[in-house]
């Protein structure tokens, strides 16, 4: 009896391990963590390359911007996944330089150079840190209809990225869109699918990484991959504090960057909620607030080493979904890889040598999985006798505008472009607004809903059933009473 009582007590005191807290072997952490890095490497280096070239920096200084972004992204990822009190969502989210501020930062460089950009990022991120308590209390305004719209839009908006990679990545290259590049992407895609079909769970989960390695090997054998520049440059490069000079705090630049921070907070909130949905973890106001504070703290500190605003990478949310590996420690290992890449540029040059076409083939599966996860979430939404269908239709359509027509907002003020140039933020803002309008502010809602509702459920008028008796039933187009006798139906014209 004592043994049974002890066993029951142990069972009652044992808390089930959350999926994000699962601890894998060192080998698994290294393999899956590297897979995360390979998935987002092209994206994390793109922003410093664009900003550095727009600022007129030398190639050496542009290289320092790239190194700083890798280093800062690694530290931000570790903070987000491992966490400290009040900072970090403790979810499998990879952090890196945010794309949302590219246009604004380029505009700022024209007036105050790279120093004004760094100053604006620090000041605006500090303001963002102060207002995170407001954002952390809006989780009730992110029901499945909103998160489903955002997750679906994330996947759809990333498809042009996958297509660009598949075509070669560099649009100015003469072989951009060549049959060789697209064929290489197709081969990589086929390898992903074949490896995913194998009975081995380990190989299936590593299908993306293995496909990238095999695809790169095929590209090298075909003379497409170029590793000749791997040995060019230093082996080790430590981050340099304020290498570009002390930041300049320009009021106009800070105001412009504050708009970017608002967009970043919306996108990060969506990513945290999305990965929480995929992992199956509860994301309450406190957890969302901790994640947003980690985002803003990382963005404040990143300019010290020469980087910019930090945000969660949507493509890695897709990797969590497609592999089923939900451990935050795997992503933290990816953060360590990023830190190493920031300290060892030669490793970064090796990763950079992976052909874009190979990444495009793998990206097609990754980004498509994000969209599929969103569709799965939207399938849980109730569409009967409400306006949810039109909320989904309008929000996704609105989010697709900047993807289908990138120049749609080019004649609008800069703040409009900053907010709506991203399909993700466009869809998120529209979904939140319409959900509030139709599902929370119900005053004035008509009981005769729009045509979008009419076909969502079956309606029968009371007068149509007034002549029925208890036990009557309808079978094969005929009406019968409780005793099985057929009840004659009067034609409509006889009324």
Mean pLDDT, consecutive 10-residue stretches, the chain (495 aa), reads 50 64 87 84 74 74 82 93 91 84 76 86 93 76 80 81 84 86 93 82 74 89 82 78 87 80 80 85 86 93 91 81 86 92 76 80 81 85 84 93 87 78 80 88 62 56 74 81 83 56
What SS3 class is residue 63? helix
Q: Which helix (H) or strand (E) holds 357?
A: helix 356-378
If we measure between CA atoms, which residue out of 23, 34, 26 comes closest to residue 210?
Answer: 34
Q: How far apart are CA 1 and CA 412, in angstroms?
A: 77
Predicted local distance difference test score (pLDDT) of residue 495: 46
Beta bridge partners of 84: 87
Using N-to-C axis directions, what is the helix angle for 388-404 and 423-435, rounded to 10°?
160
Predicted local distance difference test score (pLDDT) of residue 139: 63
Predicted local distance difference test score (pLDDT) of residue 144: 81
If we measure between CA atoms, which residue out of 443, 458, 448 comes closest to residue 386?
Answer: 448
Predicted local distance difference test score (pLDDT) of residue 11: 47
124 close to 257: Cβ distance less than 8 angstroms: yes
In the chain, the N- to C-terminal Cα span, in Å, equals 79
Beta bridge partners of 87: 84
Q: How far apart are CA 156 and CA 59, in angstroms?
A: 34
Q: How far apart are CA 169 and CA 180, in angstroms?
A: 13
Q: Tell me how many helices (H) and strands (E) the chain has.
A: 19, 5
Cα maximum dimension of the chain: 94
CA-CA distances (angstroms) from residue 320 to 59, 330, 490?
A: 35, 10, 61
On whether the pTM is more than 0.75, the answer is no
- Measured torsion, CA atoms of residues 108, 110, 116, 118, in degrees rounded to the nearest 10: 70
Q: How far apart are CA 222 and CA 47, in angstroms?
A: 30
Q: How far apart are CA 81 and CA 90, in angstroms?
A: 4
298 close to 79: Cβ distance less than 8 angstroms: yes
DSSP letter at 440 equals I
Predicted local distance difference test score (pLDDT) of residue 360: 86
Predicted local distance difference test score (pLDDT) of residue 441: 77
Query: Residues of 109-123 as b/e, b for ≥16 C-beta within 10 angstroms?
Result: beebbbbbbbbbbbb
Q: How far apart are CA 118 and CA 51, in angstroms?
A: 11
């Amino acid at each position: 009896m004592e043994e049974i009582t002890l066993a029951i007590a142990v069972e009652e005191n044992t808390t089930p391990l959350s999926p994000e807290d699962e601890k894998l072997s060192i080998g698994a952490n290294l393999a899956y963590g590297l897979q995360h890095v390979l998935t987002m490497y092209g994206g994390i280096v793109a922003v410093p390359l664009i900003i550095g070239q727009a600022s007129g920096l030398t190639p050496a200084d542009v290289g320092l911007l790239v190194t700083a972004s890798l280093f800062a992204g690694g530290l931000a990822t570790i903070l987000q996944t491992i966490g400290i009190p009040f900072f970090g969502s403790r979810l499998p989210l990879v952090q890196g330089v945010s794309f949302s501020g590219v246009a604004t930062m380029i505009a700022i460089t024209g007036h105050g150079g790279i120093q004004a950009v760094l100053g604006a990022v620090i000041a605006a991120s500090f303001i963002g840190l102060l207002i995170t308590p407001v954002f952390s209390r809006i989780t009730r305004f992110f029901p499945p209809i909103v998160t489903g719209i955002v997750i679906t839009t994330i996947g759809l908006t990333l498809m042009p990225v996958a297509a660009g990679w598949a075509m070669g990545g560099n649009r100015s290259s003469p072989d951009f869109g060549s049959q060789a590049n697209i064929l290489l992407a197709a081969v990589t895609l086929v390898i992903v699918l074949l490896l995913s079909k194998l009975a081995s769970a380990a190989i299936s989960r590593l299908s993306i990484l293995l496909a990238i390695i095999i695809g790169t090997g095929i590209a090298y054998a075909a003379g497409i991959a170029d590793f000749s520049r791997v040995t060019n440059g230093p082996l080790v490069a430590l981050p340099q504090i304020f290498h570009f000079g002390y930041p300049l705090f320009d009021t106009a630049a800070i105001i412009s960057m504050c708009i970017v921070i608002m967009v970043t907070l919306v996108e990060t909130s969506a990513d945290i909620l999305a990965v929480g949905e995929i992992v199956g973890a509860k994301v309450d106001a406190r957890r969302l607030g901790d994640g947003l504070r980690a985002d803003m703290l990382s963005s404040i500190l990143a300019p010290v080493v020469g980087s910019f605003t930090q945000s969660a990478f949507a493509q890695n949310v897709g990797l969590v979904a497609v592999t089923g590996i939900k451990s935050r420690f795997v992503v933290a290992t990816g953060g360590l890889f990023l830190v190493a890449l920031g300290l060892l540029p030669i490793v970064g040059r090796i990763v950079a040598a992976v052909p874009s076409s190979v990444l495009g083939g793998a990206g097609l599966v990754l980004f498509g999985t994000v969209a599929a996860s969103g569709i799965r979430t939207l399938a849980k939404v109730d569409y009967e006798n409400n306006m949810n269908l039109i909320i989904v239709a309008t929000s996704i359509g609105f989010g697709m505008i900047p993807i289908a027509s990138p120049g749609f907002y080019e004649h609008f003020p800069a703040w409009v472009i900053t907010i709506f140039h991203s399909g993700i933020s466009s869809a998120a803002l529209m979904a939140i607004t319409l959900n509030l309008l139709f599902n929370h502010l119900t005053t004035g809602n008509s009981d005769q809903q729009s045509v979008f509702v009419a076909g969502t459920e079956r309606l029968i008028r009371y007068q149509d059933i007034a002549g029925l008796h208890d036990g009557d039933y309808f079978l094969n187009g005929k009406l019968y009473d409780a005793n099985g006798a057929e009840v004659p139906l009067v034609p409509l014209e006889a009324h």
